[in-house]
Structure 1
Amino acid sequence: MSKKYEGFAQQIVDRVGGKANISDVYHCQTRLRFKLVDESKADQKGLEDLNGVTKVLINAGVFQVVIGTHVAEVFEEIEKFVDIKSNKTQQESEKKGIVTTVIDFVAGTFQPIIPALSGAGMVKAVLALLVVFKIITTDSQTYYLLNLFADGVFFFLPMLLAFTEAQKLKCNPILAAGVAAMMMHPNWTALVTAGEPVHFFGVIPFTLATYTSSVIPIILIVFVQAYVEKFLNRWIPKSVNLVFVPMCTFLIMGTLAFSVLGPIGSVLGGYLATFFEFLSTNASWAPAVLIGGFLPIMVMFGLHNGVAPLGVMQMSNLGYDSIFGPGCVCSNMAQATAGLVVALRTRDKNTRQTAASGSITAYMGITEPILYGVNLPKKYPLISAMIGGGLGGLYAGLTQTHRFATGSSGLPAVLLYIGDNSMTCFINIIIAIAISIIATAIITFVLSLRFEKKDSDTAEEIEIIKADEEIIMAPVAGKVLNLSEADDEVFASKALGDGVIIEPSDGVAVAPFDGTIVTLFPTKHAIGLVSPNGAEVLIHIGINTVELNGQYFESFVKQGEQVKAGQKLVTFEPEKIKDAGYATQVMVVVTNTTSYQKITALHEGDIKNGEQLLKLKA
């Protein structure tokens, strides 16, 4: 296991309030998702200032840290610093609203099964290609087996949902899956096929309904099961509950599933299917337009987690998804295109780099980096993408385009639109995507003529200002070391920027130039400054000293204050910090390193504060 992100992970844990403040943590494709005991303890600004963190969001009761496609590697290191078992007994301090609670429940139930649905969906796409190009026939054993590979997930969907919903509701997921297994047992299917009335103990009628590939019934059943289990665990003695709680759960829930909850769920599912068919026939354009145009807004507020499962439900009922998939892929392609145009138009090196890499990721279906890194901050690319995505969605809706399997919503997703032995939906989604890309590119380019002109003028002015070399003075006295010798991997790898270390000989930190305090952490261990010429410098005192919560530190400035070179910023007590078990290295880092051609250390060995430390060449 790589330790590349170990220091980065530690900083994230520190800034969300430490491991004691984390009741749960998991990740999706791009985000770390924390459930915190007390959100007020999290330093949102400090997290967003970390190089490697694109954005911090609080949606549906979840504290989300947007990292990017390498989030799984960061999560592996996060796990080392947290103790979920000890924290799960703590209660979250804030109450959620009804909408937030519902979205949180739906997301927690459906998100864990997305990889399985995506994998099965791509197998379906491969199968459709093999049939369309006449490589195999629909009556061959290969077709039969590949179809089995793909349909297994959808056939046993109730079991998967039962497991994830039980985890969400904190009841026994194995028992929940066991109840779902009853409902898909071949003997029950045989009774339904026979069509003769079924009565439990000759009294309780069991409604004849098929539950394979269904969604609503099992959601209702496990919801009730969570309360039944809690009741049984409360009243059955601990000495025998290992045997009697599962037995009673199966007896109670089996009876309720076949007699009441399952039939209710089937009726609701039928109404839902009727609603989907109504949309497909009378307003096929509406879902694709709304998702295509407003998906970025939904993502920002976490609403997409409540809408995306509608596509899964529609597929389980009708065999295709026209609710979420078409609009989503059009929106994602529009987001990617808007970012690409910005990359071609902007003169800011950092923005260009972020936009170029983010647009590539977005074309593969993951839009958070480009959304939060470029399109949302600049605003005009976001507006362009919403218009372009809506236009593409409109075409997809009017042509009743739908996908035949669930999967990602990037360019590879076009294969999911091959089905029913036809290429019609595939051709239509290609056209819809082309409309989104072309419309977005034109609108973004036109708007960039106005908005990027300002940025370009500013950039040119900055380049003129930076024409001469800029000197950064030493903020503390001590011994200058190479940044690679930092005891923190993030600093040593220069992930936060180039610079040096100073092993301090005293406890006074001063301003390295005339400038502005842009960041002053509440714990006083880190100060961010910007010079009139645009140099952004971070003075970070000690390693992991954020854990001291300001102890042994005293600040003499405030965020936003204008300071003069040599002005006292912070005092600290190196010996007491060492005695507390923390390194006292002071990292002096230029966080906008990419804005400079070369950064040179001007001093080796001992240095006094105020002496020349770094030279920045634009």
Structure 2
Amino acid sequence: MALDYAKCAAEIWATLGGKDNVATAAHCATRLRLAIVDIDKVDLKALENVEGVQGVFSSNGQLQAIIGTGTVNHVYDEFLKVSGLTAATKDDVKAAAAASQPLPKRMVKTLGDVFVPILPAIVASGLMMGIVEALGKAIPGFAATPWYQFLDMAANTAFAYLPVIVAVSAARVFGGNIFLGAVMGLMMIHSNLTNGWNAANGYKVWYMLGKGIHFGNYYLGQINVLGYQGHVIPVIIAIWVMCKLEKWLHDHVPAVLDLFITPLTTVILTALLTFMAIGPIFSTLETYVLTGAKWLITVGYGVGAAAMGAIYPVTVVMGLHHMYNVIEAGLLASKDFGNLNIWMPIASAANFAQFGACLAVGIKTKSSKRRAIAVPSSLSAALGITEPAIFGVNLRLMKPFVFGMIGGAAGALVGEWMGLGATAYGVTGIPGFLTINKPVQYCILLAVAGGIAFALTFTLWHEDPDDWDKPAAEELPAPTTVAIKTEKGDVVQPVNGTIVPASKIPDPMFAAETMGPSVGIEPTDGNVYAPFDGTVQMVFPTNHAVGLLSDDGVEVLIHVGVDTVNMEGEGFAGFVTQGDKVTKGQKLLTFDRSAIKDAGYSDTVVLIVTNKDAVGKIDKAA
């Protein structure tokens, strides 16, 4: 009897603890994959007993329900209907994973979400400021020309109006109206306010509720007539409050009045909260953070700077490095630090050290593929973009990453001793010459950081001979060994390699043979062949799985690797489509074993008989 897809989907939905408990829904060749907010709210026992669900397990924050090839896509479509969810995208999955992280990580991620989109503007302004300043020094008299005045104005615009840019980006992140966000950002640097950089010269105070109630020097309702130029945290907090208020009003104000009441109420209430409380409180806290950063960098004759130079690439791996933008923006705005970004030399030393380590790998490696990745990645790191070098090369090999940390610590220490600082942020590595205060000393910093990392990696890192380039092997003929015998016919192993018991497959569902009698094959090449004469029933869009039905009535699923659906088709190619007739030994798919390994997955090929009740007695080769 055919499975009732709608009934199956509805019963699955009933076990999940309500709509608020399901963040996203997606599927692969065999499984329904659900991002669950609170796994304790899911009735796992009931889910396992749903007709059509062949097994359930939780992995990497996902609840996975085995439905089966050719069936899961139909159940998924019905699941979307009954749940009201939409098909998950890659961004949806990322967002769902982020939502389940601890609060501190979510806060840091939010800072990154706010700053990453505005970095191009910051970087462009920082580089332009460096170029203008360099021209002013190189060409006597240029600073007095209209050209210099114009270029100087263009260069510092992003920094002069940073709260506006931050406000717009924050409104987008928090789901509010970006134009209301822009209004709040502009309000915080309004020309009627004393410029925040001139606060030391004094500013007016408006006592909105008089001087009746006070706490120390602060009077209830007091507004300091002071702008927030150079501040970041007060702006982000203010926009977060604005967005929460705006959403609440949209939900409670009648639709006919929403256009008028919601924007007006949102702006005026947010403005009062910002200038009476959020701004004074969080600008003060931000000052404490900057003081702490200054202490950390300068403590112990540069020991703190060295520690941060070592730790910096670790924070890149964790996705925490964007939080430094807040510190850097505050340093530039603070006269206490000479309006210099003293954090930049630390970041630059850390980044350039990863360049040195990655370049050493590119030169020393005997793998043409690794060299093709390492050399351009190292050049990117030299320009301040380290993710390709860290994630693509150094971290995978580990030793180069550690040697880069050592080089970063040494470079940061030298930078602190020499009193380096920058006039912008978002720019490190070679482009940092345009913003650094002491170019010669900065050159020494880069040489120390990159040189030490390069030398250590080139000397102490040794490549696994298995990664060396090998002569291209001739394509092996299609295998002929029978992997599974049934009363209706034999199933030949679909790939060349060693057959292993299902229990050796590195996946709990496949290992438990939840979908049917199974074997694994440890492949020796990347070709998948038809194991019998038959018909193609299904080819998954990413070409990592194919379902077949033999002319004798044996139904199988061939699944290449474990969790390889996450590779989104990269490294896979298909040569057949649904409905095609195939003969035993015909090539069905190809896969790149190196790509699967580099992605961190097992390349074990799983062969499953999915209609065991229809084929009689089954004997497996392993």
TM-score normalised per structure 1: 0.64
Native 8 Å contact 1:124 1:416 kept in 2: yes
Q: Which residue of 2 aligns with 1:588?
A: 590
Native 8 Å contact 1:209 1:263 kept in 2: no
- The equivalent position to 2:103 in structure 1, one of 75, 93, 98, is 98
**Residue pairs, 1:452-471, within 5 angstroms:** 452=463, 455-456=464-465, 470-471=474-475
Q: Which residue of 2 aligns with 1:446?
A: 459
Please give the per-residue CA displacement for 1:287-344, whole angstroms capped at 9, x wherever unaligned.
5323321222222222223334322232233432112x21222122221221222222
CA distance in 2, matches of 1:311, 1:539: 57
Native 8 Å contact 2:34 2:62 kept in 1: no
* C-alpha spacing 1:373/1:231, structure 2 compared with 1 (3 Å): closer
Native 8 Å contact 2:358 2:374 kept in 1: yes
Native 8 Å contact 1:401 1:428 kept in 2: yes
CA distance in 2, matches of 1:163, 1:17: 42
Q: Which residue of 2 aligns with 1:608?
A: none
- The equivalent position to 1:289 in structure 2, one of 306, 324, 329, is 306
Question: In the TM superposition, what is the alpha-carbon distance from 1:154 to its structure 2 partner?
Answer: 1.1
CA distance in 2, matches of 1:340, 1:363: 10
Question: In the TM superposition, what is the alpha-carbon distance from 1:351 to its structure 2 partner?
Answer: 2.3
* C-alpha spacing 1:412/1:180, structure 2 compared with 1 (3 Å): closer
Native 8 Å contact 1:529 1:538 kept in 2: no
CA distance in 2, matches of 1:280, 1:194: 30
Q: Which residue of 2 aligns with 1:473?
A: 477
* C-alpha spacing 1:102/1:263, structure 2 compared with 1 (3 Å): same
Native 8 Å contact 1:407 1:416 kept in 2: no
Q: Match of 1:335, SS?
A: helix
CA distance in 2, matches of 1:163, 1:16: 41
Residue type matched to 2:176 in 1? Answer: C
- The equivalent position to 1:345 in structure 2, one of 364, 367, 383, is 364
Question: In the TM superposition, what is the alpha-carbon distance from 1:202 to its structure 2 partner?
Answer: 6.3
Q: Match of 2:476, SS?
A: strand
Please give the per-residue CA displacement for 1:417-437, whole angstroms capped at 9, x wherever unaligned.
14xxxxxx2222110100112
Is 2:169 the counterpart of 1:174? no
Question: In the TM superposition, what is the alpha-carbon distance from 1:138 to its structure 2 partner?
Answer: 3.3
* C-alpha spacing 1:206/1:434, structure 2 compared with 1 (3 Å): same
CA distance in 1, matches of 2:91, 2:443: 50
CA distance in 2, matches of 1:92, 1:471: 41
Q: Match of 2:261, SS?
A: helix
Superposition RMSD in Å: 4.6
Q: Which residue of 2 aligns with 1:235?
A: 252
Please give the per-residue CA displacement for 1:578-615, whole angstroms capped at 9, x wherever unaligned.
69xxxx9823356569xxxxxxxxxxxxxxxxxxxxxx
Q: State the number of aligned residues.
A: 466
**Residue pairs, 1:483-522, within 5 angstroms:** 510-515=493-498
Native 8 Å contact 1:529 1:537 kept in 2: no
CA distance in 1, matches of 2:577, 2:543: 16
Question: In the TM superposition, what is the alpha-carbon distance from 1:39 to its structure 2 partner?
Answer: 5.2
Q: Match of 2:589, SS?
A: strand
Q: Which has the higher contact order (CA 8 A, sep 6+)?
A: 1
Native 8 Å contact 1:287 1:322 kept in 2: no
Larger radius of gyration: 2
- The equivalent position to 1:116 in structure 2, one of 118, 121, 127, is 121
Q: Which residue of 1 aligns with 2:341?
A: 321
Residue type matched to 1:128 in 2? Answer: E
* C-alpha spacing 1:86/1:239, structure 2 compared with 1 (3 Å): farther
Native 8 Å contact 1:338 1:444 kept in 2: yes
Native 8 Å contact 1:286 1:397 kept in 2: no
Unmatched 5+ residue regions in structure 1? 1-12, 24-37, 44-80, 419-424, 477-505, 561-571, 594-618
Native 8 Å contact 2:298 2:304 kept in 1: no
* C-alpha spacing 1:575/1:260, structure 2 compared with 1 (3 Å): closer
Q: Match of 2:222, SS?
A: strand
Q: Which residue of 2 aligns with 1:331?
A: 350
* C-alpha spacing 1:290/1:19, structure 2 compared with 1 (3 Å): farther
CA distance in 2, matches of 1:474, 1:214: 66
CA distance in 2, matches of 1:97, 1:350: 38
CA distance in 2, matches of 1:245, 1:202: 29
Is 2:270 the counterpart of 1:250? no
Native 8 Å contact 1:529 1:536 kept in 2: no
Is 2:375 the counterpart of 1:356? yes
- The equivalent position to 2:391 in structure 1, one of 360, 369, 372, is 372
* C-alpha spacing 1:109/1:22, structure 2 compared with 1 (3 Å): farther
Please give the per-residue CA displacement for 1:88-120, whole angstroms capped at 9, x wherever unaligned.
9x9779632122121122112222211111010
Q: Match of 2:419, SS?
A: coil
CA distance in 2, matches of 1:376, 1:187: 51
Q: Match of 1:588, SS?
A: strand
* C-alpha spacing 1:202/1:578, structure 2 compared with 1 (3 Å): farther
Please give the per-residue CA displacement for 1:132-163, whole angstroms capped at 9, x wherever unaligned.
21255434322222221121111111111111
Please give the per-residue CA displacement for 1:33-65, whole angstroms capped at 9, x wherever unaligned.
xxxxx952799xxxxxxxxxxxxxxxxxxxxxx
* C-alpha spacing 1:284/1:168, structure 2 compared with 1 (3 Å): farther
**Residue pairs, 1:420-435, within 5 angstroms:** 425-435=438-448
* C-alpha spacing 1:92/1:171, structure 2 compared with 1 (3 Å): farther
Q: Match of 1:554, SS?
A: strand
Please give the per-residue CA displacement for 1:265-286, whole angstroms capped at 9, x wherever unaligned.
3322333444455456655725
- The equivalent position to 2:190 in structure 1, one of 185, 192, 196, is 185
CA distance in 2, matches of 1:376, 1:283: 30
* C-alpha spacing 1:589/1:213, structure 2 compared with 1 (3 Å): closer
Identity of aligned residues (%): 22
Q: Which residue of 2 aligns with 1:415?
A: 434
Q: Which residue of 1 aligns with 2:149?
A: 144
Q: Match of 1:222, SS?
A: helix
Please give the per-residue CA displacement for 1:525-554, whole angstroms capped at 9, x wherever unaligned.
xx98542xxx55466987544599876663
* C-alpha spacing 1:19/1:263, structure 2 compared with 1 (3 Å): farther
* C-alpha spacing 1:513/1:20, structure 2 compared with 1 (3 Å): closer
TM-score normalised per structure 2: 0.64
Please give the per-residue CA displacement for 1:425-455, whole angstroms capped at 9, x wherever unaligned.
222211010011221222112213xx33xx3
* C-alpha spacing 1:589/1:85, structure 2 compared with 1 (3 Å): closer
Question: In the TM superposition, what is the alpha-carbon distance from 1:180 to its structure 2 partner?
Answer: 2.0
* C-alpha spacing 1:168/1:592, structure 2 compared with 1 (3 Å): closer
Q: Match of 2:143, SS?
A: coil
**Residue pairs, 1:205-224, within 5 angstroms:** 205-224=222-241
